[in-house]
Amino acid sequence: MPSETLDRFLNENLQELKDQGLYNEIDPVEGANGPVITINGQKLINLSSNNYLGLATDERLKEVASKAVDSHGVGAGAVRTINGTLDLHVKLEEKIAEFKGTESAIAYQSGFNCNMAAISAVMDKNDAILSDALNHASIIDGCRLSKAKIIPYGHNDMEDLRQKAKEATESGQYNKVMVITDGVFSMDGDIAKLPEIVEVAREFDLITYVDDAHGSGVLGKGAGTVKHFGLQDQIDFQMGTLSKAIGVVGGYVAGKQELVDWLKVRSRPFLFSTSLSPADVTASTKAIDLLMESTELYDKMWENGNYLKEGLKGLGFDIGDSETPITPCIIGDEKTSQQFSKRLNEEGVYAKAIVFPTVPRGTGRVRNMPTAAHTKEMLDDAIKIYEKVGKEMGVI
């Protein structure tokens, strides 16, 4: 018989989330996740995808993925350290290293896995991690898994970082100290102050770790936040995903050869989980090839991002301080944010409400991400719908 304690816990807490406007409804997409999607038979302009460059539906990626299934099968068949390392994995990792300007790279099954794997493979209970207050949940969980002392510093607050780096290193309590930050913060669209972070790291001999999940493909002509600032030789860990701008699935760490060698023998998701499928690996390699060959998709994404920003800001929406195409419309109240998103959906725009715990309480928003695949006509239609719903609800 099922546990009454569990039933009571689940029912009470689920209802509480619903009452607070914090319960997230999941909407299955019928078909591909492109610039226009179908949900419950309704076609919607899609502004919620992380498919920044439109590569998730790119015919060139689909073609090579299909060929990889024919030549290598649908799965790798084992973990990487037994016989699950295919020649395709080696090619992908060589391509990532070239793309990121590092000596080597290692691929993982997801970006979340990446942070769980890499941080805990290097940091332990005798160490400390200086972590930006708005870092992604996977960074936070990776830090927790390491058992290192987590010392948050104010979001992009370099004075606070320097003070806490000084205190941590001069305390004599820790063998190693790492500073870890997102490259691009996905809910606000602002960029980490990497040059200043590197200065602090150099002064106090900190290990540097940049999670560039939302910067790769978006900054540095596609190569990411570290390349944007020209700091490829100054950052120890360049972590990224293959699931956002790259359009497929997976994660990676790029850095020195010795770092990758260590991660291959000490990072548990690499050691104990079956490796990326042949189709995923080959499609990711092709996507990176395309980014290295041309900035066409990159330029189009930025053009669309600036266009949507200007349109929404001109209507009076609070879009925060985004420095990238990520465009939040900050509403504040969680229930209002959920209702605003629902009305947008009803009118023909799919833009998901983002509320606590993804963002702090009282900063509920609708997050918009125009991609390289959107047309100006789609964005014009979306802006008109935003105007209608915003005025109807008194948001603008």
Residues identified as active-site: 186, 214, 244
Contact 340, 331 (CB under 8 A): yes
86 contacts: CB under 8 Å, gap ≥ 6: 72, 76, 275, 278, 281
E strand or H helix at 296: helix 296-315
E strand or H helix at 170: helix 158-170
Contact 227, 101 (CB under 8 A): yes
According to DSSP, the β-strands at 251-255 and 104-108 are antiparallel
Structure tokens at 222: 């596609």
Q: Residue 311: which of 50, 33, 47 has the closest Cα?
A: 47
According to DSSP, the β-strands at 207-211 and 177-182 are parallel
E strand or H helix at 251: strand 251-255
Which stretches does DSSP call E strand in 79-126?
104-108
